[in-house]
Structure 1
Amino acid sequence: MTALAATIPAVSMADVSIYGRAHVSVDYLDDGAKYSETNLSSNSSRLGFKGNHEINPNLKAFFQIEQQINFTTGSSSGGTSFATRDTFVGLSGNFGAVQLGRFDSPFKVARGPFNLFGDQVGDMNNLARVTNGRLDERYDNTIQYTTPDFSGFTAKVGYSMYKGQSIDITTANNNEDSDAFSVSLNYIGGPLEASLAYEQVEEDTLRGEADSIRAAAAYKITDAFKLVGFYQTTDFEGYSTTTSAARDAGTFNVYGLGGEFVIAKNTALKATWMTHDNDAKKSDADMWVIGVEHKLDKAVRVYANYAVVDNDSNVAYSPWMQSRTATPSNQSIVNGVNEALGEKAAGFTVGLRYDF
Structure 2
Amino acid sequence: MQKKTLAVALAALFALPAVAQAEVTIYGFMAASVESAKATGNGDAAKEYKRTTRVNSDNSRIGFKGSEDLGNGLKAVWQVENSLSNYDNGAGNVWAGRNSFVGLSDATLGTIVLGRFDSAYKRLTDTGQDLMVNTSAGNQGAKNIFSRGEDRYTNSISYTSQNWNGLVASASYKADEADGNNNRWSVAAQYTLEGLKVGLGYDQQKNVAAADTTFAAVKDLKKNEFYKLSASYKIADTLLIAGYEWARGDAKVGSDLKQDDWTVGVQQNFGKASVRLSYSALGKLDGAPSADDYKASQWVLGGTYSLSKTVLAYAYATKIDNKAKANVKFQVNQLDNGAGNDPQAIGAGLRVNF
TM-score, normalized by the shorter chain, greater than 0.5? yes
Match of 2:79 in 1: 64
Q: Which amino acid aligns with 2:117?
A: F
Within the alignment, does 1:252 sit opposite 2:259 as a pair? yes
Q: Which amino acid aligns with 1:291?
A: G
Match of 1:199 in 2: 203
Shift of 1:311: 2.6
Within the alignment, does 1:286 sit opposite 2:301 as a pair? no
Shift of 1:7: 1.9
Alignment map for 1:62-141 (pairs within 5 Å): 62-73=77-88, 77-78=92-93, 81-93=94-106, 94-109=108-123, 110-125=125-140, 129-130=143-144, 135-141=149-155
Aligned equivalents of 1:85, 1:100: Cα separation in 2: 13
Match of 1:181 in 2: 185
Aligned equivalents of 1:204, 1:219: Cα separation in 2: 36
Match of 2:33 in 1: 25
Give unpaired runs (5+ residues) of structure 2.
1-7, 42-47, 213-220
Match of 1:40 in 2: 55
Within the alignment, does 1:262 sit opposite 2:269 as a pair? yes
Sequence identity (%): 26
Shift of 1:76: 6.3
**Could you tell me which of 133, 145, 148 is aligned with 2:159?**
145
Alignment map for 1:186-335 (pairs within 5 Å): 186-205=190-209, 207=212, 208=221, 209-220=223-234, 222-238=235-251, 240=252, 244=255, 248=257, 251-263=258-270, 265-279=271-285, 280=288, 281=291, 282-318=293-329, 320=330, 322=331, 324=332, 326-330=333-337
Match of 1:345 in 2: 343
SS in 2 for 1:125: coil
Runs of 4+ in 1 over 4 A off after TM superposition: none
Match of 1:173 in 2: none
| CA shift digits 1:136-188 (9 cap, x unpaired) | 11111111111111111010111110x3242xxxxxxxxx6121111111122
Q: Aligned-residue CA RMSD in angstroms? A: 2.2
Change over 3 Å in CA distance of 1:149–1:4 after alignment to 2: same
Match of 2:12 in 1: 4
SS in 2 for 1:38: strand
Q: Which amino acid aligns with 1:296?
A: L
| CA shift digits 1:269-313 (9 cap, x unpaired) | 001111100214221111111111111112111111111122323
Change over 3 Å in CA distance of 1:40–1:112 after alignment to 2: farther
Shift of 1:101: 0.7
Shift of 1:32: 3.4
Whether the 8 Å contact between 1:184 and 1:196 is mirrored in structure 2 is yes
Shift of 1:89: 0.7
SS in 1 for 2:19: helix
Change over 3 Å in CA distance of 1:129–1:73 after alignment to 2: closer
Aligned equivalents of 1:31, 1:293: Cα separation in 2: 25
| CA shift digits 1:41-67 (9 cap, x unpaired) | 122211111001111141111100011
Shift of 1:102: 0.5
